[in-house]
Amino acid sequence: MGPYPEIELMQEHGVLEILLNRPDSLNALTEGLLDSLGLIFDQAKADGSVRAVILGGRGRGFCSGQDLKSLHEGPGRDVGRHVDQYYNPLIKKIYHLPKPTVAMVGGVAAGAGMSLAMACDFRVASYAARFVQAFVRIGLVPDSGSSFFLPRLLGMARALELAMLGDVISGEEAYANGLVTKLVDTDRLREETWELARRLADGPPVALEMIKQAIHEGTIRSLDDTLTLESDLQSRAAQTEDHQIGLRAFLNKQPARFIGW
Ligand code: T3D
């Protein structure tokens, strides 16, 4: 894959690590960066050797959202169209990636940067992490999926509070609120994130893909529809070799080594 300007990629043990590398702007997003990320997520989806993805940032930021210094047009520019063209396709690619995703948040995640973190399945954060719905501070509304993710991850009251006040919350608060999966010391962030991603990469990929689908759809379907979806997915999961491997491992009291089908 790549190389891509201002993005570092590394792949090991089935884990693809994507690091935004614009530390001077706290990894603010440009059109070029957003396009590259879209291509990388396309490739990660197609590449069978990628079984989990980490998204992080170099320096003291995770991602500060739209690069406010690279905007070409002045007042009156169609921000909605810009979001539609550059942000929305990427958010969909991340959220619907049929593989586990982990945001590694070691600094500030602001505006669409916070949306990127929330589009991932897991967030591992260090004590240096901060989250801010920066949109309201510049007279905008949450975009890039923040209005979808915030109430689902935090509940409506907290979502409204963060979106309408635009206060910065610490990694500790985000962990207490359930936004962050795991809170770790700054010097252990990468190790702990990789440990989680490796564990996911070692899991049964077909089942993991379907678990993700079921949980996503469970937030929008009725109970009846969810029960039907679950039994359909279960029929497919039960036909995989990985199900047999899991069963044998249990009976032999050994760890399962899943093969991916
Ligand atoms: O078309 C569209 O507009 C699409 C819209 C997309 C949705 C969005 O993402 S809108 C939200 C955009 N993001 C923001 O409004 C966040 C702006 N940044 C901040 O509020 C603060 O920087 C932070 C709260 C994120 C961090 O504060 P702090 O004090 O830790 O750092 P800092 O000193 O403000 O920033 C460090 C440097 O990064 C600084 O550069 P300098 O002065 O050292 O040369 C700062 O200008 C730069 N920086 C931070 N955020 C951005 C940025 N440069 C460009 N764009 C940024 N978003």
Tokens of 129: 């992490």
CA of 108 to the centre of ligand 1 (A): 10
How many whole angstroms separate alpha carbon 179 and alpha carbon 167?
A: 15
Does residue 111 line the site of ligand 1, with CB under 6 A?
Answer: yes
**pLDDT tens-digit readout, 197-229:** 999 999 999 999 999 999 999 999 999 999 999
User: Which residue owns the Cα nearest ligand 1 atom 40?
Assistant: 25
CA of 228 to the centre of ligand 1 (A): 45
> Can you give the three-state secondary structure of 59-87, one letter per residue?
CCEEECCECCCCCCCCCCCCHHHHHHHHH
| Probe target for ligand 1 pocket from 37, 64, 136, with the most ligand atoms within 8 Å of CB | 64
pLDDT of residue 77: 85
User: Which residue owns the Cα nearest ligand 1 atom 22?
Assistant: 64
| Probe target for ligand 1 pocket from 6, 21, 26, 88, with the most ligand atoms within 8 Å of CB | 26
Does residue 60 line the site of ligand 1, with CB under 6 A?
Answer: no
How much of the chain, in percent, has pLDDT values that exceed 90?
95
> Can you give the three-state secondary structure of the chain, one letter per residue?
CCCECCEEEEEECCEEEEEECCHHHCCCECHHHHHHHHHHHHHHHHCCCCCEEEEEECCCEEECCECCCCCCCCCCCCHHHHHHHHHHHHHHHHHCCCCCEEEEECCEEECHHHHHHHHCCEEEEECCCEEECHHHHHCCCCCCCHHHHHHHHHCHHHHHHHHHHCCEEEHHHHHHCCCCCEEECHHHHHHHHHHHHHHHHCCCHHHHHHHHHHHHHHCCCCHHHHHHHHHHHHHHHHCCHHHHHHHHHHHCCCCCCCCCC
**What is the full per-residue pLDDT of the chain (261 aa) written as tens digits?**
778 999 999 999 999 999 999 999 999 999 999 999 999 999 999 999 999 999 999 999 999 999 999 887 777 789 999 999 999 999 999 999 999 999 999 999 999 999 999 999 999 999 999 999 999 999 999 999 999 999 999 999 999 999 999 999 999 999 999 999 999 999 999 999 999 999 999 999 999 999 999 999 999 999 999 999 999 999 999 999 999 999 999 999 999 999 999
- Look up the pTM and report it: 0.97
Kindly give the number of the ligand 1 atom that is closest to the alpha carbon of 143. Answer: 7
Kindly give the number of the ligand 1 atom that is closest to the alpha carbon of 66. Answer: 9
Q: What is the separation, in whole angstroms, between the first and last Cα of the chain?
A: 24
